[in-house]
Amino acid sequence: MLGLNTKLAELESQNNKIKVALVGAGQMGKGMVSQMILMKGMTPSLVIDIDIQNAIEAFTLAGIPQSDIVVAKDIATVNKALEEEKYIASDNSELATAANLIDVVVDATGVPEVGAKIALDSIFNKKTYSYVKCRDRCSSRANLEQISTKCWCGLYRNCRR
Ligand SMILES: NC(=O)c1ccc[n+]([C@@H]2O[C@H](COP(=O)([O-])OP(=O)(O)OC[C@H]3O[C@@H](n4cnc5c(N)ncnc54)[C@H](O)[C@@H]3O)[C@@H](O)[C@H]2O)c1
């Protein structure tokens, strides 16, 4: 992680940003969106929650104006809004791994079976996958690591053990 902020700033100076899709806009998810908005080189492009209001609120709490938020139900709307560099809110978690321009998918739902599906979909769609810790999910971690290594995909975990 040493020098990470410098590398991210370099990326942004090249007019490039890591586009993140976050699934689960609860306590942790909303915090992550606010933090990412303040960072260089990384942006929370797509936020998904089964309660769409949570996804929208994640952006508004981070200071994003309503006019920059697109509510999307389908992949075509998501891909178009990503190209236009809008902030996208949705209630369909399938869109996170299917979106063209998304680089990283973060699972912050805390639901093990939802996380496992997002992890596999991310790996098979060549997206880097990251998750906020959930103790129940640790048992499946070894399997995910094996699969992601075989697929040349990144697998990261946030938070402590
Ligand atoms: N809250 C903390 O202080 C804390 C600290 C460290 C780690 N964590 C971990 O972070 C994770 C999330 O915790 P939290 O406190 O933010 O939980 P939370 O309940 O506040 O948020 C989870 C969100 O995920 C959404 N969600 C559930 N199923 C979904 C689905 N299928 N598709 C889309 N969205 C869905 C819920 O609607 C909810 O808004 C958990 O794994 C928890 O262990 C939490």
**Residue 137, domain CATH:** 3.40.50.720
Centroid of chain to Cα 1: 19
Residue 38 placed within a domain: yes
Task: Provide the whole-model pTM.
Answer: 0.90
| 6-18 mean pLDDT | 96
Q: Give residue 112 CA to ligand 1 midpoint distance, Å.
A: 10
Question: Total structural domains in the chain?
Answer: 1
Residue 5 placed within a domain: no
Residue 25 placed within a domain: yes
Confidence of residue 108 (pLDDT cuts 50, 70, 90): very high
Residue 30 placed within a domain: yes
| 81-103 mean pLDDT | 97
Distance CA(29)–CA(58), nearest Å, equals 8
What does the pLDDT read at residue 66?
A: 96
Q: Which atom of ligand 1 is nearest to the CA of 135?
A: 43
Mean pLDDT of the chain, nearest integer: 89
Residue 81 placed within a domain: yes
What residues make up the domain containing 50? 16-158
The residues lining ligand 1, judged by C-beta closer than 6 Å to any ligand atom, are 23-29, 48-51, 54, 93, 108-111, 114, 132-134, 159
| 56-83 mean pLDDT | 98
Beta-carbon contacts of 41 under 8 Å, excluding residues fewer than 6 positions away, are 7, 8, 9, 10, 11, 12, 16, 17, 18
Asked if the model's pLDDT at residue 141 lies above 70, the reply is: no
Q: Give residue 10 CA to ligand 1 midpoint distance, Å.
A: 32
What does the pLDDT read at residue 155?
A: 64
Range of weakest confidence among 28-32, 48-52, 92-96, 141-145: 141-145
Residue 23 placed within a domain: yes
Find residue 129's DSSP bridge partners: 105, 155
Confidence of residue 117 (pLDDT cuts 50, 70, 90): very high
What is the per-residue burial (b if ≥16 Cβ within 10 Å, else e) of 37-74?
Answer: bebebbbbbbbbbeebebbbbbbbebebeeeebbebee
Asked if the model's pLDDT at residue 161 lies above 50, the reply is: no
